[in-house]
Amino acid sequence: MTEPTLILREFAIYKGWLGPQMQADLVADLRDLVAQAPLFAPVTGSGKEMSVRMTSAGRYGWVSDRRGYRYERHHPKGMAWPPIPAPVLAIWQRLVSAERLPDCCLINFYSPDARMGMHQDRDEADFDWPVLSISLGDDALFRIGNLTRGGKTESLWLNSGDVVVMGGAARLAYHGVDRIRAGSSSLLREGGRINLTCRVVE
């Protein structure tokens, strides 16, 4: 197993795991994917629109609306989710498992003013499988909390090409994105950040 660059509160962080060409190739794959399953604006159960836009790939996609947070087999517009891009699966196989592939790759797009509040990833059936996160584009200030809300937190900047694996004690830790450093990357033509999170759903 490849050793992470650093471990922060059991979050395994692989700095610069994807080189520039790998990042560019993956963005091209994602543009094709979004053409098949367009980004949409999720809302919370109370009806508040989130600042990120999202779509998914794989057998399941993660959605959020007034009915709550959950996985669905189809995009809100009715089409099946596209397959997870092969380069993403290759990263999962290298850092998580060569036998069990993820069921879902959630794709979040952050504009410069987007945020993600502190939350847990707990809509999956089996928390023994890690969550894998890939950062592309502008830097994001990533904050790591505890297994319960509140308490001391720690933050670090995630850069384009960084990969994070949240497993073991980190699997249910609260985490979020406090801000985006606009213009810190030239990877995306119009700026912003893409975050991919791969999960085993069932």
Residues linked to residue 197 through DSSP beta bridges, in sequence order: 106, 133
DSSP 3-state assignment of 157? strand
Query: What pLDDT does residue 1 have?
Result: 60
Q: pTM of this prediction?
A: 0.96
Query: What pLDDT does residue 2 have?
Result: 82
Which amino acid, residue 68? G
Asked if residues 49 and 24 have their Cβ atoms less than 8 Å apart, the reply is no
CATH architecture of 6-199: Sandwich (2.60)
The answer, yes or no, to whether residue 91 has pLDDT greater than 90, is yes
| pLDDT tens digits for range 135-186 | 999 999 999 999 999 999 999 999 999 999 999 999 999 999 999 999 999 9
Look over the chain and give the mean of its residue pLDDT values, rounded to a whole number. 96
**Percent of the chain whose pLDDT exceeds 90:** 94
Q: Tell me the CB-side half-sphere exposure of residue 55, using CA atoms within 13 A.
A: 21
Place of tokens 């517009």: 77
| pLDDT tens digits for range 15-51 | 999 999 999 999 999 999 999 999 999 998 888 999 9
